[in-house]
Structure 1
């Protein structure tokens, strides 16, 4: 299982993030402590995750899915966010 960072920018004003957020949650165990950034633990590949999410995005939106290494540093998150990071970035 890998941990992926997913970042997106929905370019249409007033865009509803609900469907995209629900699709990301279905990919695996997730962390969402930044507005348009998610971390997800999943058995899926980055390409498969991208392809799933692209289906519910507009053509002018932007999406990044990248596998994380076992090194990370962070600042300012609450205990729940920090605990998830410690447990899932390996």
Structure 2
């Protein structure tokens, strides 16, 4: 399993992206402690994850899915967010 970062810009104001968020949660074990950033632990590839969620986005939205290397540093998260990072990245 790999841990991926998913970052997006949803450029259309007033859109309901509930289905997009539900789809991201289905991909694997997830972390969502930043507004437009998710970390997901999954056996899927970055391309497969992208293809799975992009179909729920508008054409002017943007998304990045990238595999994390295992090295990370962070600051300011609560215990739950911090613990997930320690378990799934570090």
TM range (shorter): over 0.9
Q: What stretches of structure 1 of length at least 5 have no aligned partner?
A: none
**1:46, distance to aligned residue in structure 2 (A):** 0.1
Scaled by the length of structure 1, the TM-score of the pair is 0.97
Q: Give the whole-Å Cα distance in 1 for the aligned partners of 2:69 and 2:5.
A: 10
Deviation track 1:1-35 (CA, whole Å, cap 9, x = no partner) reads 00000001110011222111100000000000000
For 1:50, the equivalent position in structure 2 comes to 50
Classify the secondary structure of the residue corresponding to 1:20: helix
Where does 1:34-73 land on structure 2 (aligned, <5 Å)?
34-73=34-73
5+ residue gaps, structure 2: none
Between Structure 1 and Structure 2, how many residues are aligned? 90
- The equivalent of 1:88 in structure 2 is 88
- Runs of 4+ residues deviating >6 angstroms: none
What do you get for the CA RMSD once the two structures are aligned? 0.7
